[in-house]
Structure 1
Amino acid sequence: MNYYFCMSQKINKMNKFRRFTLVFVGFIFLVSCGVALKNKQLKTEANQAFTNNDYKAALASYEQIIESGKGVAGDIYNKAGISAWELGYTDKAINYLENAKKQKGTDALGYYTLAKAYKKVDNLSREIINLQLCVEAASTELMQDAKADLFDAYVRSENWNLADSLWNDLSPEFKKQLSFSEGYLKVKRNLNDIDEAQKVASEILQKDKKNIEALEFLAQYYYNKADKLYIKEMKAYRRNKTMKQYKRLTKALKQVNVDFKRARGYFETLYKLKPDKKYAKYLGNIYTRFENKQKASYWYKRSK
Structure 2
Amino acid sequence: MPWVRLDDRFPTHRKVALLSDRAFRLYVSALCWSSENLTEGLILDRELTLVARLRGAKTAATELEEAKLWDRVDGGWSIHDYLEYNPDRSRVQADRAANAARQKAFRQRRAEREAEARNASSNAPHNGVTGDQYDAENDASATRTRHDGDTTALRTDSENRSSPQVDAFRNGVSNGPPSPPPSHTPSPTEKEQASRTREHGIPEQARPLVDALTANGVIVRWPFHGNEWFPLLALISRTGIPAMVDHATKVAARTSVESAKYFVPGWGELPPLPPPGDGRPALRTVDTPRPPLSPQAARRNESRNLLDNLAAQLRATGGTQ
TM-score normalized by the length of structure 1: 0.20
Bigger Rg over Cα = 2
TM-score normalized by the length of structure 2: 0.19
Higher helix fraction: Structure 1 or Structure 2? 1
- The one of the two structures with greater contact order (alpha-carbon pairs below 8 A, sep at least 6) is 2
